[in-house]
Structure 1
Amino acid sequence: MSLPLLQPSTATSFPTSIALTAQAPSFLKSQSTWFAALPYPLSLLTNTESQEKWQIYENLFLASLRTGADATAWQCLEALVARFGKTNDRVIALHGLYLEATAKDEHGLAAAMRLYEEVLIEDPTKFSIRKRRAALLRSAGKTAEAAQALVNILDASPTDAEAWAELADLYLSQGAFDQAVFSLEEVLLVMPNAWNMHAKLGEVLYLQASRTESVGEKARLLAESFRRFCRSVELCDDYLRGYYGLKLTSTRLLELRSTSQKQQQNTSDPSTGDLAPPSTETVKKLNAIATAKLGEIVRRASSGEKGWDGFSKAELSAARDLLDKSTLKIER
């Protein structure tokens, strides 16, 4: 039970969360002792201590909230409060998250907002609480206020990659592609080797290209998206999302060049710092590499081969559909 609970909560699938929540009562019972009810900090004197233990409690708390096991989540939260105290930043954030998840109406959400604002009045430097407040504003549909809250966080902490990534996602949901691209570029300034963020930037650029009427601008955006996906798979081999994007962008580039009268691959704009688009030969080679790699990932992951079980069914299905479409075009 402890192995999946030690993984980041974002990597836990919903079926896994259900299974973990079902085992929660036995885990909590094994941790309950007569000294568990001692107030903080006396509980520290008798409690077994390890970083892994409290990571398990937190992840079990999140899994329980996700599956609607509110009583179990509350037990986990009480244990965390007993260990770290009510004024701990992370505990306050988890308490607010509990209030958000269990809210039945707007009054319940307002209680969570009051908690965040009361804490921030006393100490505006609690960034975890400021982020939860921004997330709550967004979930309540107050997009402009959420964006401003994130901007305020970044004014105080301009190297906060998490806040930049959240702001990028917020801009993307509003169709503000230029702002989303800028925000993701800021993320990569802080985390240049984050292959998933290179792929995310490639996705945003691809979406922007899909909504652009100008052939020249479309080609430029597709070429930049193509480069981002190349970088993502360079940093992380067997990254399905990266190879999917590489296959998609290279296919679109080849289609665009076959229908365009201009030789887009031989043009660049040094005054703006734009790189010359990749040659058609290069695009074809990388398209073939992406096709082969996607085929390998789908084949080995679908067969349950050891070491290839970390891919989601939805991503594998999408990759299979993309390969099938490519095959049909070749046959025609």
Structure 2
Amino acid sequence: MSSSLLHPPSHLPPATALRHSQQAPSVLQNYPGAITTSILQSVFSASETQELWTVYENLLLSCLRTGDDESAHQCLGRLVNRFGDNNQRVMALTGLLKEATAPDNAALDLVLQEYNQILQENPSNIPIAKRRAALLRAMGRISEAVNSLNSLLDMSPTDAEAWAELADLYLAQGLYSQAIFAQEEVLILQPNAWNIHARLGEMFLMAARTSDAPKRLTEALKRFCRSVELCDNYLRGYYGLKLTTQQLLSEASLRASKQTEPQEWPIPASSTLRNLDEVATEKLAEIIRRNSAGETDWQGYDEAEISAARQLLDSHSAARSR
């Protein structure tokens, strides 16, 4: 059995998720469908481990991603047999399976009604509250999804996943200040997560196009610098760092602007910005080169991100050659 089946498939590349779903028939055949509670029978059956149920859950999710609904139903059935259909995590997986196999919006409305009923009986069912918010978003009912997440966070204010989802919803609506606030809450809960620093930097970078550009660009610069400090080979961090330094270097008015608030992080000198731009350029080039060469420790990057980084460097080289 692949060890990657112990990791959530939502974080796996599509090819890996497909490989997992292709393993489903053999996994379901070779591993038990239920664990007996009888001491005598347990002597002759496979032993129960936490890893086994993790595999079933992750296999279920991979099968849903690839359209193998039959195997997904079998995985869910085994989880229900073991933990019962009142287990909150199992209830959420059941709802997810219903969402994935719903033929139309009317069927999705029925799933949403089931979520509402469950939450009416037990408002503290966090997995179902998250599924409800996700379903509302998928149905395009964004304002309701935002309200749902805010209600969830009233109950569980330390839920980083919910804060991140809320930040993404605000960002999709162009509500940059609210998105930044929600993402900063994620950062408080996960201060050493380099991807969260970079995501916050991206929000500041986008927000700089609308207002308060000097402050927001310098904040973006700080977040991208922190992300690559925490992860030396983080492509998105270096990509954002280069975009930010280029904007700051190209806007003389920003560099010359006065900082009106004493607590603001001052805009670095042009020499510092050029040095940061050079570091980002060199690192992006190294990542692209070593990834393209197939070096073992330099794989796993998203192909679209590699392509975007290559285009950024090409455009930078073209601009310098003019």
TM over 0.5: yes
Q: SS at the partner of 2:297?
A: coil
Q: SS at the partner of 1:238?
A: coil
Listed as ranges, the matches of 1:58-207 within 5 Å are 58-207=57-206
Q: SS at the partner of 2:208?
A: helix
Q: Quick check: 1:81–1:91 contact (8 Å CA) kept in 2?
A: yes
Cα–Cα, structure 1 residues 21 and 261, in superposed 2: closer, same or farther, change >3 Å? closer
Q: SS at the partner of 1:54?
A: helix
User: CA–CA distance in 2 between the matches of 1:269 and 1:261?
Assistant: 13
User: CA–CA distance in 2 between the matches of 1:154 and 1:261?
Assistant: 37
Map Cα deviations across residues 192-234 of structure 1 (whole Å, 9 max, x no partner).
111111111111111111234xxxx222211111111001111
Q: 1:254 aligns with which of 246, 249, 256?
A: 249
User: CA–CA distance in 1 between the matches of 2:34 and 2:261?
Assistant: 68
User: CA–CA distance in 2 between the matches of 1:261 and 1:218?
Assistant: 8
**2:4 counterpart residue number:** 4
**1:237 counterpart residue number:** 232
**2:287 counterpart residue number:** 297
User: CA–CA distance in 2 between the matches of 1:76 and 1:276?
Assistant: 55
Structure 2, unaligned runs of 5 or more:
none
Cα–Cα, structure 1 residues 261 and 228, in superposed 2: closer, same or farther, change >3 Å? closer
Q: CA deviation at 1:261?
A: 8.2
Map Cα deviations across residues 244-292 of structure 1 (whole Å, 9 max, x no partner).
10011111111112xx38613xx32335x21211121111111111111
User: CA–CA distance in 2 between the matches of 1:51 and 1:204?
Assistant: 38
Cα–Cα, structure 1 residues 42 and 85, in superposed 2: closer, same or farther, change >3 Å? farther
User: CA–CA distance in 2 between the matches of 1:306 and 1:187?
Assistant: 32
TM-score of the aligned structures, taking structure 1 as reference length: 0.91
Matched, 1:331 2:300: no
**1:15 counterpart residue number:** 15
Q: Quick check: 1:102–1:108 contact (8 Å CA) kept in 2?
A: no
Q: CA deviation at 1:37?
A: 5.7
Q: Quick check: 1:188–1:197 contact (8 Å CA) kept in 2?
A: yes
- Matched residue type, 1:172: L
Q: Quick check: 1:2–1:56 contact (8 Å CA) kept in 2?
A: no
Structure 1, unaligned runs of 5 or more:
none
Q: CA deviation at 1:51?
A: 1.9
TM-score of the aligned structures, taking structure 2 as reference length: 0.94
Matched, 1:319 2:309: yes
**2:256 counterpart residue number:** 263
Q: CA deviation at 1:303?
A: 0.9
Cα–Cα, structure 1 residues 306 and 125, in superposed 2: closer, same or farther, change >3 Å? same
Report the count of equivalent residues.
Answer: 319
Q: Quick check: 1:21–1:64 contact (8 Å CA) kept in 2?
A: yes
**1:227 counterpart residue number:** 222
The Cα RMSD (Å) is: 1.9
Q: Quick check: 2:20–2:59 contact (8 Å CA) kept in 1?
A: yes
Cα–Cα, structure 1 residues 262 and 237, in superposed 2: closer, same or farther, change >3 Å? closer
Q: Quick check: 2:160–2:185 contact (8 Å CA) kept in 1?
A: yes
Q: CA deviation at 1:47?
A: 4.5
Q: Quick check: 2:214–2:254 contact (8 Å CA) kept in 1?
A: no
User: CA–CA distance in 2 between the matches of 1:157 and 1:292?
Assistant: 43
User: CA–CA distance in 2 between the matches of 1:293 and 1:325?
Assistant: 16
User: CA–CA distance in 2 between the matches of 1:47 and 1:123?
Assistant: 35
- Matched residue type, 1:263: A
User: CA–CA distance in 2 between the matches of 1:160 and 1:84?
Assistant: 24
Q: Percent identity?
A: 49
